[in-house]
Amino acid sequence: MPLDLPLLNSSFNAKDKYRSRVGTSYALLPFKFIKLDHKRYIVTNFVGEYVVLSRTSLHALIQHKLEINSDLYDQLKVKHFIIDGDSTVALDLLACKYRTRHSLLKNLTSLFIFVVSLRCEHSCPYCQVSRQSQDRQAFDMQLTHAEKAIDFVFSSPSPDLKIEFQGGESLLNFELIRWIVERVSHRNDIESRNVSFVIATNLAILNDDILEFCAEYEIDISTSLDGPRELHNANRPRPNKNSYELTIEGIKRVRDRLGNDAVSALMTTTPASLSQPKAIVDEYLQQDFSSIFLRSISPYGFAVKTGVASGYSSEEWIIFYRSALDYIIQINLEGTPFREEYASMLLRKILTPFPTGYVDLQSPAGLGLSCLTFNYDGSIYASDESRMLAEMDDYTFRLGTLDNDTFADVISSEKLIGLLSETMTESMPMCADCGIQPYCGSDPVFHYATQSEIVGHKPTSGFCSKNMEIIKHLIHLLEDHEDSSLVLRSWIS
């Protein structure tokens, strides 16, 4: 039989199908690039692979002049920047990586925030939720709304359901928290989801009864710690001026009863924090935390009215952040493992194909898809920040009410879909061409609050400049500083 006849009823293709085309040409797959410094560019593709190239190499790549079989050629091929005749499964691999990167979308909402009370006994000038005084029970969530919210939670198809109690000071309505946790746990005997609970609290009114309940239902605690005593107490005034003392005592009590990892803390950067990056990190180390989340202030509620939110520029915050990050890396190099959380989430996006559930680092944004918020009055919001905006009489991100809407109504509503369609960084002006777009996200509520529109004008956006600088800085450390790179890589393991 002549050898070149097509083989019928065979699982083999004709032999020219197997001939390598390496050495003849390559095609470019979609990628973007952005300047890292005056000599080099960060080049990324839509599945989040990156390479750093000199200007000469970038030109050679684009002009199809790469030296075939060079290390750079192989690196670009492995990372799906180019494809040649040898790359038979490259497109399938690319699709697989893209699906993995967006895998959170298929489960829909997993985080549900219950604002059980807007009352608080602190009077922080940077309060972003517009807290109410302790005696105003009208700002507590009602049982009927809590009951409907639980139905809402279990309507999500997500196997993981996290319920976070927020305030004001959420423990001022602890009896409702108790009722919700018992009710959800009972219902979950049948539903069998992975349910977890977190209480966000300043710990000032923590007592043994609450601690016992948290122990029984394995509830985690999230608190606020802004830094050393003077800074924390200045940021977070309360009667007796003892917020710091109560927080530290509360952290100790939680750890004694629930275990070391049951409590985490968040800091908020105020103008007074900017000069104290090391002292703030030292405070977290002293309190035996294994990480810190360096957060800038958000432009909502009292933070806007008192002017605290405009007390520093994004450039000043970036200087503060980089200084704290350098110090944290140094601490690691001296032998103490300690992470910065925002960098850790970005590194996960830069170095792995896996997504992060952080609402502001997603495309489309995590509005509704990752998180829904039930406000004290029964309104449903697309995120925690959306309900903060509502206290400023702006209801742009209200998706419905517990009295009138179901999970399906909200998730498939034109309002949510319309909002989400404007948060795809792949197609947003400037983001679409940005070399670090795969690692960034969108924050429509921030842009709406600061620029009066959802997409945001990126050249003047504080969100954009913050992410741009931090992501470039992380890639610079990964590429140019071996010691720092090892530390940063350890944060994603």
Q: Which position has the token pair 């309940």?
A: 213
DSSP assignment letter at 14: P
Least Å distance, CB 466 to ligand SF4, is 9
Least Å distance, CB 434 to ligand SF4, is 3
Least Å distance, CB 8 to ligand SF4, is 52
> In the range 440-459, which residues lie near ligand SF4 by CB under 6 A?
440, 458
The nearer residue to ligand SF4, 2 or 459, going by C-beta atoms, is 459
Q: Does 468 bind ligand SF4 (CB under 6 A)?
A: yes
Specify the stretch interacting with ligand SF4 by CB under 6 A; choose among 96-104, 220-228, 386-394, 435-443.
Answer: 435-443
Q: Is the peptide bond before 301 cis (omega within 30 degrees of 0)?
A: no
Angle, vertex CA 385, rays to CA 367 and CA 461, nearest 5: 85
Q: Which of 10, 143, 104 is nearest to 355 (CA)?
A: 104
The nearer residue to ligand SF4, 262 or 430, going by C-beta atoms, is 430
Q: How many CB atoms are closer than 10 A to CB 96?
A: 13
The nearer residue to ligand SF4, 57 or 425, going by C-beta atoms, is 425
> In the range 412-431, which residues lie near ligand SF4 by CB under 6 A?
425, 430-431
Least Å distance, CB 294 to ligand SF4, is 18
Cβ proximity of 426 and 277 under 8 Å: no
Q: Does 379 bind ligand SF4 (CB under 6 A)?
A: no
The nearer residue to ligand SF4, 309 or 431, going by C-beta atoms, is 431
| Binding residue (CB under 6 A) for ligand SF4 from 117, 437, 450, 484 | 437
Q: Does 72 bind ligand SF4 (CB under 6 A)?
A: no
For 308, the 3-state DSSP assignment is helix
DSSP assignment letter at 453: S
The nearer residue to ligand SF4, 78 or 430, going by C-beta atoms, is 430
Least Å distance, CB 465 to ligand SF4, is 8
In angstroms, the Cα distances linking 428 to 103, 211, 382, 464 are 21, 47, 20, 12
The nearer residue to ligand SF4, 400 or 438, going by C-beta atoms, is 438
What distance in Å separates the CA atoms of residue 132 and residue 122, rounded to the nearest whole number? 10
In angstroms, the Cα distances linking 376 to 55, 113, 115, 148 are 55, 10, 5, 12
Least Å distance, CB 257 to ligand SF4, is 42
DSSP H helical ranges for 391-443: 407-411, 414-421
Size of the site for ligand SF4 (CB under 6 A): 11
The nearer residue to ligand SF4, 389 or 436, going by C-beta atoms, is 436
Cβ proximity of 267 and 235 under 8 Å: no
The nearer residue to ligand SF4, 115 or 440, going by C-beta atoms, is 440
| Binding residue (CB under 6 A) for ligand SF4 from 464, 470, 478, 488 | 464
Least Å distance, CB 430 to ligand SF4, is 4
What distance in Å separates the CA atoms of residue 160 and residue 136, rounded to the nearest whole number? 34
Q: Which of 156, 105, 108 is nearest to 362 (CA)?
A: 105
What distance in Å separates the CA atoms of residue 490 and residue 332, rounded to the nearest whole number? 10
- Write out the residues near ligand SF4 by the rule CB under 6 A: 425, 430-431, 434, 436-437, 440, 458, 464, 467-468
